[in-house]
Structure 1
C-alpha cells in the first residue's frame, strides 16, 4: 500500500513518534463486570489510579499512569444530576450496604420492567448519593450506573452524568465518546479527545477523528503506522481503508456486516455507505435513527423502541408520529394513522369523533407495548371530555396508566369541595375491577373487596400488618434502605411473571419506605397492561 520512498520515510518517522505517544498501546487489562460489551476501543492506554498510601507498581521505567481530578472535585461515585431533596431519596440511601451487592443489583435489573419501576430505578441512578464504603476501585459504582443507563438507551442522562465527573479516566472517556457517536456528536467527541490530557486514543479512534477534522494525510499515515505495528483487529484495516478512501473500493463487494459493532465501527460503516440496521443492535443504537438524515419509518421504529424503555419523552414520540401523513398501509403505518386520527379528534374536541378514534388507537398501542407512553400523551385530555359508554370506560383506564392517575380517579368519583373534606365513597353499582382500580388509584385499596389473585396481592401489599418475608425484615432492621428498594424492584419483575406473593412483598417494601406513589403506579400498570386487562 505504501510503496513510494517519501511515504516510507514518513512512515518510519511516524513509527518512532507513535511509539513514544502510545507506549502501552497493546496493553490490556481485565475489564470490570459493569462494562457493556459493545463499547468502542477508543482508548489505547488504560489509566489505573494507585490506592491511597500505596506506591504505584510498575514493571518498567516509564512514568506511571495516573487518574486526574481537580482539587475539591467530588468523587465520581457520588456524582449525580439530582440532589436527594429533588429526588426524594435519602442521601444515605446506600449506607451500610456492600458495594458489590449494590452493583450486582444494578447490573441485574431487568432492562424493560414496569414503567413505574423503570422511572424509580433511573431516579436512583441519577441522584447524588453518599456512596457505600469500600468501593474498589473508586469510580466503579459510577461506571455501573452509567452502564445501566446505556443499557436502557438513556443516552441524554448518561451524557449529563458523564459530564459531571471531572475525571480523566479512560473508562469514563470511552463511554462519553460512544454516547457522542450514537447521538451524532462525532465532532464534539473528537474535540474532547484532543483537549483531554492523559487520554491516548486507540488507532481507529485517532484515524476516525483525524478524518473528521479534514486531516486526511495524517489519517492515512496513521493507518499505515497501525498496520505496520500490528495494532488493528481483524477487519479494522479493511474498514478504515474504505473509510478514508471509499472510491478505491467502489467495485468491490460490501464488507461483512458485524453482528455486534461498537459505536465507532457502526458510525464508520454508515460513513462508507453500508449502514448497519439498528433493530438487532442494543437499544442505545436506536438514537442514531432519530437524526434528521434517517427515513421516517426508521425514526418511528427507533422512537417507539426507546419509548418502551422510558428513554424517550412521549411528546418526542408524538412529534415523530405526526410528522406527515402515512404514505402506506399495514403494520406500523396503520398504528401511526390511528394515533394521528385520535390526535386530530382531540384537537377538534368533538366527543363522537374522539370515541370513534380511541378504540383502534388503543388496540394498536396494546399490541405494540406502548400503553404507558400513549397514556401519558392522551390520558389527561381524554379525562376532560367525559366520553360516554365503552369509550368512557376505556378513557378512564388509559388515564389511570398516566402519572395523573389520582386526578383521573377523583374526577370519576367526584372531587371533594375542599382539600380538608373527606374523600367520597367508591360508587356502588360499578364492576368489581373498576371499583378496585378507583380505590387503588386514590390510595385506599382496602376500601373495596379484592376479587382476583392479583388484586388481593396488591391489597396485601398496602396493608401495614402484612408480614414481610426475608431478607426484607433484616434489611430494614439494619437500615439497608437502598438494597431493600432495589430488591423490591426486582420482585416486581418476578411477580409480573406469575408469583403474586412477590408483588405483595414489593409493594409492602416500597410503601413502608415512602415510595407509595411508585407502588400505586406499578400496581395499576400490572392490572391494566397484563394479559387479563
Structure 2
C-alpha cells in the first residue's frame, strides 16, 4: 500500500539542489543562550531584573493563534503522538504543494492544541511550527505566534529578532534585546543595536575591542565597519556577500547601500522587497514569489500589479499590464472588454502561478458577467478555484462545462466518468471506503495531527506521479470531516499546471 511513509522518507522527498534553505539553516546567530541562572557576561547598566525560568517550565507547544472553534480540529490534535515524530514530520513537510494544502498546513501550524507526548519546556514542536511558517514566508503569523508565547528563550528570541530585521522593525527588536538580559546578543548584534539606537561611539568602541580580542571574524569586521562609518569607504568596491546570508547581514548590507538580491534567498527575505523604497520591478517579483505560497494576501498582490504604469514590456511588465487592463474592464462592468482581456490576464496568472489569488479576487464576480466561448470556460475554471467553487459548479451544471470538475466541486466525482489516471485517482478518493489502514489506525489512536501531516506529504508525493497517494490522502481528509480541503485540493490538482 502507498501509505508506508516514515518521517525519514518524508524528509527525503524534499532533497535537491534547488530546494530552499529551511529556517533553521538561515536564521542568524544574533543571540546566544546563557547558562541557567546566570546573567550575560556583558549587560546593560540599566537592565531590569533577570527573570529566571526553570527547566521544568510548561511547554509552549499548546500555544496557537487559532482556537478549536475556528479550525474545527480537536484540542487533542497532537496529544497522543510523540513530539520527536511530529517535529520530524513538520520539518519535512513540503511547502510547494497545491494552495489548498498550503493553507491547511498553516492552519495546523497555528492551531491551539494540547502538547504531544514527551513535550518539555523546550517546546520543540512549537519551534518546528514557527520554522515552517518562516519557510512559507508567513512572517506576520510567525511573529504573532512567537509573541503569544513570549520569546523568553534564546531559540525563540532569535527567531523573533530575525523576523523584526526582515520586516524593518529592527529598532523595536534592539530595544527588546537590551531589555532581555537573559538573552545574550552576539557581538555583531550588540554593535548593530548600539548603532541603531544612536550610540555610535559605544558601537565603534565595542567593534574595536572585539576586533582586538578576535571575537569578530574579518568578514563581520568589514561589514560592521562600513555600517558604522559608510563615508569612510566611499569609492571602495562592494563587499563580497557571505556564503550564508542571515537577516542581520542582509539588513546591514541594505543599510550601507549594498542591498542583496532576494530572488535566490529563502522566501522570508522577499518581504524586504515590498518596501516602498524598493524598485517597482523588485516589488512585483517579490509579491509574486510570496503570493505563490500564500504569504501575502491577494489584495496585496493586486495592489502591486496596479501600483504604476509598466515601464517596459516582456515578462513581469506584460503580466502587470494584462492585469491592469482586465481590472479596469471588471471595474467598468463591460462584458465585451472582460471577454477580450480575460484570456491574457489568466495566461499571466498561470505564468506567475498565482491563479488561486486571482480567483479569490475575481472568481465570484466573473459568474455575474455574461460570457461565451473561451472566456466563459476560463471564467468557469476560475470560479472553481475560488471559495465559491460549489455555487459555481451548481450554476454550471448542464451548461456544457467539464462534468468531472463539476462533480469534484459537488463532492460527487464518482458519479461522473473519469477520462485520465489522475481523474480516476481523485474519483477513488471520493468513494465511500475507509482510508488506508495505517492512516485510519492513527486516527483511531487519537493521533489525528500525525495522520494529517502524513496525508499532506502523501498528496504532495502523489501530485508528482504516485496517484495512489493522492487517493489515500483524499480518503483521509474526507474520513475526518475535511471535505472542503479534499474538494479544493482535487480541483487544484486538476486545474493547476505545476509541472517544472
Scaled by the length of structure 1, the TM-score of the pair is 0.84
- The equivalent residue for 2:216 is 232
Q: In 2, are the aligned partners of 1:67 and 1:167 still within 8 Å (CA)?
A: no
Aligned-pair CA distance for 1:34: 8.3
Q: Name the CA shift for 1:68/1:286 in 2 (closer, same or farther; >3 Å).
A: farther
Cα distance in 1, alignment partners of residues 312 and 151 from structure 2: 50
- The equivalent residue for 2:114 is 130
Query: Which entry has the higher C-alpha Rg, 1 or 2?
Result: 1
Larger RCO (CA under 8 A, 6+ residues apart):
2
Aligned-pair CA distance for 1:135: 2.3
- The equivalent residue for 2:18 is none
Worse overlay, 508-517 or 137-146: 137-146
Alignment of 1:520 onto 2:487: yes
Please show how residues 286-297 of structure 1 align to structure 2 within 5 Å: 286-297=270-281
Cα distance in 1, alignment partners of residues 486 and 234 from structure 2: 58
Q: Name the CA shift for 1:531/1:258 in 2 (closer, same or farther; >3 Å).
A: closer
Cα distance in 1, alignment partners of residues 200 and 377 from structure 2: 64
- The equivalent residue for 1:375 is 359
Please show how residues 350-429 of structure 1 align to structure 2 within 5 Å: 350-413=334-397, 427=398
- The equivalent residue for 2:421 is 453
Q: In 1, are the aligned partners of 2:101 and 2:456 still within 8 Å (CA)?
A: yes
Aligned-pair CA distance for 1:179: 0.2
Please show how residues 149-228 of structure 1 align to structure 2 within 5 Å: 149-228=133-212
Cα distance in 2, alignment partners of residues 510 and 263 from structure 1: 37
Aligned-pair RMSD on alpha carbons?
2.1
- The equivalent residue for 1:489 is 456
Matched residue count: 467
Cα distance in 2, alignment partners of residues 168 and 494 from structure 1: 38
Unaligned runs of 5+ in 2: 1-20, 39-49
Q: Which secondary structure state, in structure 2, belongs to the residue aligned with residue 81 of structure 1?
A: coil
Cα distance in 2, alignment partners of residues 278 and 531 from structure 1: 23
Cα displacement string for residues 345-402 of structure 1 (whole angstroms, at most 9, x for unaligned residues)? 0000110100100001111111221111111111111111131222111100011011
Worse overlay, 446-455 or 122-131: 446-455
Q: Name the CA shift for 1:69/1:380 in 2 (closer, same or farther; >3 Å).
A: farther
Cα distance in 1, alignment partners of residues 99 and 364 from structure 2: 18
- The equivalent residue for 2:430 is 462
Q: In 1, are the aligned partners of 2:60 and 2:121 still within 8 Å (CA)?
A: no
Cα distance in 2, alignment partners of residues 367 and 349 from structure 1: 26
Unaligned runs of 5+ in 1: 1-32, 51-65, 414-426
Q: Which secondary structure state, in structure 2, belongs to the residue aligned with residue 323 of structure 1?
A: coil
Aligned-pair CA distance for 1:407: 1.7
| From 6, 31, 45, the counterpart of 1:43 | 31
| From 293, 314, 328, the counterpart of 1:309 | 293
Q: Name the CA shift for 1:300/1:74 in 2 (closer, same or farther; >3 Å).
A: farther
Q: In 2, are the aligned partners of 1:260 and 1:281 still within 8 Å (CA)?
A: no
Q: Which secondary structure state, in structure 2, belongs to the residue aligned with residue 385 of structure 1?
A: coil
Cα distance in 1, alignment partners of residues 22 and 267 from structure 2: 17
Q: Name the CA shift for 1:141/1:48 in 2 (closer, same or farther; >3 Å).
A: farther
Cα displacement string for residues 12-61 of structure 1 (whole angstroms, at most 9, x for unaligned residues)? xxxxxxxxxxxxxxxxxxxxx986111111113445699xxxxxxxxxxx
